[in-house]
Amino acid sequence: MMTKMDLQYLTREINEAGTPEHDLWTCVLSKAAHDAIYCTDWRESRMAISWFKTGGFNFRTVCEYAGRDPAYVHRVMELPIKRREKEMRRG
């Protein structure tokens, strides 16, 4: 069982820029943004959009591990997501 100190150490280690873990979580966040805005599979796009819009625990955790502020990521993604949703409604 992980202690609180173990978890804090792991989180700090993951957040350090340039580590493989940090790079991995940055890629996860980038892939989600790509899926939300550019994916041709509309089901996948809708799932990614929902992930950004709800801002749940998984979203916040991925942002934290990628070294990004979840509120900032949410703000940056708002306009592209609105445009994408409009495009999807038009068909």
Summarised one tens digit per residue, pLDDT across range 7-56 is 454 555 556 667 888 899 999 999 999 999 999 999 999 999 999 999 99
pLDDT for 16 equals 67
Helix (H) or strand (E) holding 7: helix 4-15
pLDDT for 2 equals 41
pLDDT for 79 equals 96
24: nearest Cα among 67, 57, 66? 66
Summarised one tens digit per residue, pLDDT across range 54-84 is 999 999 999 999 999 999 999 999 999 999 9
